[in-house]
Amino acid sequence: MSIAQNTETTAKLRCIACGSTPDSAAQDFRCTACGDLLEFFFSGWTFDPAALKALWLSRRASCNLLDQSGVWRFRELLPHISEEHAITLGEGNTPLYHLPLCARAAGVENLRAKHQGMNPTASFKDTGMTFAASSAHERNFRWVACASTGNTSASMAAYAARGNMHSLVLIPEGKISWGKLSQALDYGALTCQLRTDFDGCVRILNDLVRQKPVCLLNSVNPYRIEGQKTAAIELMEQLAWEPPDHIIVPGGNLGNSSAIGKALLEMRDLKLISRLPKLSIIQAQGANPFYRSVREFGGKKLEPMTADTLATAIRIGNPASWKKALRVLQATGGEVEQVTEVEIAAAKAEIGADGIGCEPASAVTLAGLKKLRQSGFVKAGESVVLILTGHLLKDPDFTIKFHRGELLAETPAETASAQAKSLQRAPVVLDANLGAVIAALDAAERNS
Ligand code: F0G
């Protein structure tokens, strides 16, 4: 299959607040007129939906690397980037799993998870990073940079390495998991652990990119959002273009919810799908500025906060893309929820018990679904897809502490024990003899 690039379509940048349409973006990807975020919009889209679906499906059988990527396969709905600049690790193409035990726990009949942790660097960031790193390469950048709670840095470092670019990572000291930090180091990033939080890292990076010729690869970069749209397109293809009633995503910096929502709206406009799923966004209670913005201020403003949660990926107090996320929340009729540390830990263990697993930030989706069921927003008979954003092995510390009963030590014991105890599977330390192992097996059988 030849690479028919999308040359008739024009992709232009537009400010989400004042609507100005610059020919190119400034280094910080902010509107030079009003300082708000930019997004891509498309003109000249005249696709036959059935032909487009058939073309995308046919590429699955192609030997071409770009056709095989779960991002570049959908390039008709993305801005144009020349093929010779494309940096791909075969991202996307992630599985959609049924979660029968979680469905029972949440009280819904039809629950599935699209596992974006099954990407090359084990998080959803790769779908945006392949596209944004390629655009940096096309624009001849030697250096790319990001502030990160860990996954963005791991992904950026990998794609920079594959594209022969240097990468600079700013991360909060002590507040990212070892798995993620070790990835950035192995992929060769210049990794700076700053004595601040994620929001502090973002502030410094924004100042840096105004002074140095480095390409900013955080999700304010609209190429990131375009690449991340493909998770929703691929999901619809996996569902034979029959949308679920609900899609539930974690909310941190709010780039991912914006991207998935943008894709849903575009697919609806192009008649690739006939109706919109409701897109709901879940935050950790200790890092809930968007929840508070919607619930307390009707989305009129967002008050930054000092964030704190053991789900370090979403430990973010001043989310950059909150206005984009608000727009898709309203356009799809979704809801916003917050969940506690105990609820996150229990949900993570439940996703694990379905033989899937994920990192803590991803588990807010199941914890949030339970709340949305309780409030009646999600009905028992409705179909739900959770977007799991990161792999279980990203944060083994959290998992081991949870199963040993050490994670929630500072949480009021009763709630912690009621919700979490039955899910804990601490390793059993035994003398090295057969009798001890048989006794452990018999005891486990009696309790099962
Ligand atoms: N889940 C995981 C595993 C994440 O790493 C992130 C964000 C999110 C959810 C939230 O997505 O920011 O688009 O709302 N991680 C970023 C990082 C901030 O630096 O890796 P979002």
| Ligand 1 atom at shortest distance from the alpha carbon of 117 | 3
Instruction: Please write the tens of the pLDDT for every residue from 256-306.
Output: 999 999 999 999 999 999 999 999 999 999 999 999 999 999 999 999 999
Residue from 121, 318, 359, 389 whose mutation best tests the ligand 1 pocket (most atoms within 8 A of CB): 389
Token readout for 385 is 């897809």
Q: What was the pLDDT predicted at 173?
A: 93
The CA 234 to ligand 1 mean position distance, Å, reads: 20
Task: Identify which of 149, 175, 254 to mutate to test ligand 1's pocket (most ligand atoms within 8 A of the CB).
Answer: 149
Residues 202-248 have pLDDT tens digits of 999 999 999 999 999 999 999 999 999 999 999 999 999 999 999 99
Q: From residue 276, how far is each of 189, 218, 248, 334 by CA, in Å?
A: 40, 27, 13, 10
Distance CA 93, CA 387 (A): 14
Q: How many CA atoms lie within 13 A of 27 on its CB side?
A: 16
pTM over 0.75: yes
What are the b/e assignments for 159-192, b being 16+ CB within 10 Å?
A: bbbbbebbbbbbbbeebbbebbbebbeebebebe
**Do residues 367 and 279 touch, judged by C-beta distance below 8 A?**
no
Query: Would you say the CB of residue 251 lies under 6 angstroms from ligand 1?
Result: yes
Dihedrals φ, ψ of 11, to 5°? -105, 125
Give pLDDT tens digits for 90-149.
Answer: 999 999 999 999 999 999 999 999 999 999 999 999 999 999 999 999 999 999 999 999
Q: What is the pLDDT of residues 18-53, one digit of tens each?
A: 999 999 999 999 999 999 999 999 998 889 999 999
Closest C-alpha residue for ligand 1 atom 15? 313
* Distance in Å, CA 415 to ligand 1 centroid: 27
pLDDT in the model for residue 2: 36
